[in-house]
Structure 1
Amino acid sequence: MELTMRTDNHESAAETDTADLMAGKQITLDELATELSAIDLRLRQLARAAEVPDTPVELADVIESLRSSASTVRETGERMGFLSRIVAGDVPLALAFPGGDPWGVAARGTDRQDYGGPAIIPTVWQLVRLAQDGRLASAGGRETTTYPEAMTGIGIGWESKAAAARRRRERDAAVAVEVLRLPCEKCGAADGQQCKTAKGWPADKAHVSRQREAEAAVDERLGYLGDNPVAVPEAR
């Protein structure tokens, strides 16, 4: 049997079934940490079991790969556990980054050009750095803040870059299907047919008018306006 590598970015039906991972509508960082801990243990158990398979096959490389994956998962889980303490307000955080740039609510209205612009929504590593600097500030008697204080009022209607990218891929896939459902006024391609050149050659790209009509239909159905989502149910 030929082995193939999955290269598409679209989720399968199984990947979208995440209800058992969380108690509420969105997964918490604490839940992420616990789930990752379970995966870490499972991978290490598999590595141990693979030491003595029921057939004489040397699985040393597989065992090493499983243990390496477990180590990566464990590090990520520990990081999520630390972040859960941060977002709960248990960890003092620096008021600003080393260069003096604010973050959270304080970053609104600022014009930082470096590092992707104002850090209104901090990244994992930014929070880790803020925690490190916050510990030093506390030891030196300087003022610190907490995540709940710094992020008051932020989060409603927000979604991660990964979620936005996934929904964009889903939108583009829906447009590709919709294009073939519409007849093309330019070349006369019918339902299910690709657009054609003036000489009658099939083309991968649809004519602009057909593409535009398909995008408008899908965007209206999904609640998009141009490249941006208008309505994001349950977004955080």
Structure 2
Amino acid sequence: MLTGTQHESPAEENVSDLTAGRNLSFDEFAAELGAIELRLRQLARAAETPATPVEVADAIDSLRSSASTVRELGQRMDLLARIVEGDVPLSTAFPTGDPWGVAARGTDRTDFGGPAIVPTMWQLIRLAQDGKRAAAGGRETTTYPKAMAGIGIGWESKAASARRRRERDAAVAVEVLRIACEKCSAGSGEQCRTAKGWASDRPHVGRQREAEATVDATLGYLGENPVAVPDA
């Protein structure tokens, strides 16, 4: 998990081979995870006979444990791939009676973070479990394409939003040092200073506000919120 001032490496940011200019499907997601699982197991097997005699049993166990975790995630992605294609019947509502997808628009769901217009992975898996029982009992079910018809334009995941916020904050931190501070007269490349001359990691409000406005105009933000999500 990335926290604080940590940022993705250039290699991590390059996902062109996964997306090929479009969004990654869950079917492709599952296939990629299958390849990763296989590679981890192959690496564990190869580590049993290293070129230099060093016992790495713990590392081998860790690799195989990681492979098992990746396999489980791959199985969930495979289920999600079938769900989003409409192959799996889903419950029309959660056990609480709360709707989801298009039906959740305009509702006031106070539990679990508000209306589930865009359901999470775990919510969809639960809806699939409940949908299976509903279908067996002759009760009404729905499908993901039907329940989500018209949703998705302008949407981005929480992880993508958090990444873009980190990128925005990093750009602001750079921009702050490019402009002079009217409050303490700190020049370009200099940190703001207190009334007694101590350097501070926190710029004065006016300098910070000017840097944010410049960066937001460049990135297409309105305050802290993105105005548009490219290719959403």
TM-score by length of 1: 0.95
- 2:40 equivalent to 1:43: yes
Mapping of 1:76-91 within 5 angstroms? 76-91=73-88
- 2:227 equivalent to 1:224: no
- 2:201 equivalent to 1:211: no
Per-residue CA shift, 1:116-170, capped at 9, x if unaligned?
0100000001000000010001000111000000000000110000000000000
1:7 offset after TM fit, Å? 7.6
Residue 157 of structure 1 is matched in structure 2 by 154
Per-residue CA shift, 1:36-78, capped at 9, x if unaligned?
0000000000000000101110000000000000000110011
Query: Which moved further from structure 2: 23-32 or 141-150?
Result: 23-32
In 2: Cα distance, 1:196 partner to 1:70 partner = 51
Q: 1:40 is matched by which residue type in structure 2?
A: E
Mapping of 1:47-196 within 5 angstroms? 47-196=44-193
Note if contact 1:93-1:132 (Cα within 8 Å) is conserved in structure 2.
Answer: yes
Gap runs ≥5 in structure 1: 1-5
In 2: Cα distance, 1:180 partner to 1:163 partner = 27
Note if contact 1:178-1:214 (Cα within 8 Å) is conserved in structure 2.
Answer: yes
Query: Which moved further from structure 2: 41-50 or 21-30?
Result: 21-30
In 1: Cα distance, 2:160 partner to 2:98 partner = 27
In 2: Cα distance, 1:153 partner to 1:139 partner = 29
Task: Name the Cα RMSD after superposition.
Answer: 1.2
Query: Following superposition, which runs of at least 4 residues in structure 1 exceed 2 angstroms of deviation?
Result: 6-9
Gap runs ≥5 in structure 2: none
Q: 2:144 is matched by which residue type in structure 1?
A: Y
Note if contact 1:174-1:218 (Cα within 8 Å) is conserved in structure 2.
Answer: yes
In 2: Cα distance, 1:55 partner to 1:200 partner = 58
Amino-acid identity (%): 73
In 2: Cα distance, 1:208 partner to 1:7 partner = 21
1:22 offset after TM fit, Å? 2.8
1:201 offset after TM fit, Å? 1.3
In 1: Cα distance, 2:107 partner to 2:185 partner = 52
TM-score by length of 2: 0.97
Q: 1:133 is matched by which residue type in structure 2?
A: D
